[in-house]
Amino acid sequence: MRCLLLALPFALLPLAVAQANERSHAHAEHDSLDAHQHGTAQLNVVLDGTTLELQLQSPAMNLVGFEHAPNSVADRAKLAAARGELERPQALFGLDAGDCTVNTQELQNPLLAGAAHNEHDHDEQHAVDEQSEHGDIHAHYQLDCKKPDELKQLDLSELFKRFPATEKIQVQLIGPSGQQGVELTPAQASLNF
């Protein structure tokens, strides 16, 4: 299953190339060189049998409002709140159907690692500073769905609501109906499987 998720970007490469060509005329050099774009996130979704995998990649700015090491109580509170939201994928992705339970979940970013610990040592803080410039937060979830045929839709309304700095999400999905690539926004936040 993980191989299938990793192959998803290559399967949808023709779509990405077409979109890149369209955007290059409208946005010139800046967008084509900058893969890390505030306000934009990427989501890969694979539904294979009873296994649902989701992989979210977003600039930390979209989720916590900054990308530097936390330097205040308010920063640490924002990190803890974001971590708490990201640890509840069923709510974030509108997965109230299909009887899905989380098998594994991984959150990767030095900022989030710091939010999980109460003690901050100077060397750890320095390591976070070095690693987190323009840092992305990566979240990977694997869910077991006892009734996958009841999964009809992916609804990112809650994700947009809880992380309002996220303006659009590039979604690549492989499901029972084939593969799709779409851009979701707060105004158009759902996608059928």
CB neighbour burial string for 100-125, b if at least 16 within 10 angstroms, e if fewer: beeeeeebebbbbbbbeeeeeeeeee
Matching residue, tokens 């659009």: 168
Please give the helix or strand (H or E) that residue 146 lies within, else none: none
Q: What is the pLDDT of residue 33?
A: 36
DSSP state of 176: T
189: its two tokens: 């936040």
Query: What pTM was computed for the model?
Result: 0.73
Query: Collapsing DSSP states into helix, strand and coil, what is residue 93?
Result: coil
d(CA 184, CA 44): 13
Position 8 scores a pLDDT of 53
> Residue 130, class by beta-carbon neighbours within 10 Å (0-12 exposed, 13-18 middle, 19+ buried)?
exposed
What pLDDT, on a 0 to 100 scale, did the predictor assign at position 96?
A: 87
Residue ranges of the chain with per-residue pLDDT less than 50: 10, 12-34, 115-133
Residues contacting residue 2 through CB under 8 Å, at least 6 positions apart? 53
pLDDT of residue 142: 98
Select from 44, 36, 65 the least CA-distant residue to 164: 65
- Residue 182 C-alpha from the chain's centroid: 14
Q: Collapsing DSSP states into helix, strand and coil, what is residue 68? A: coil
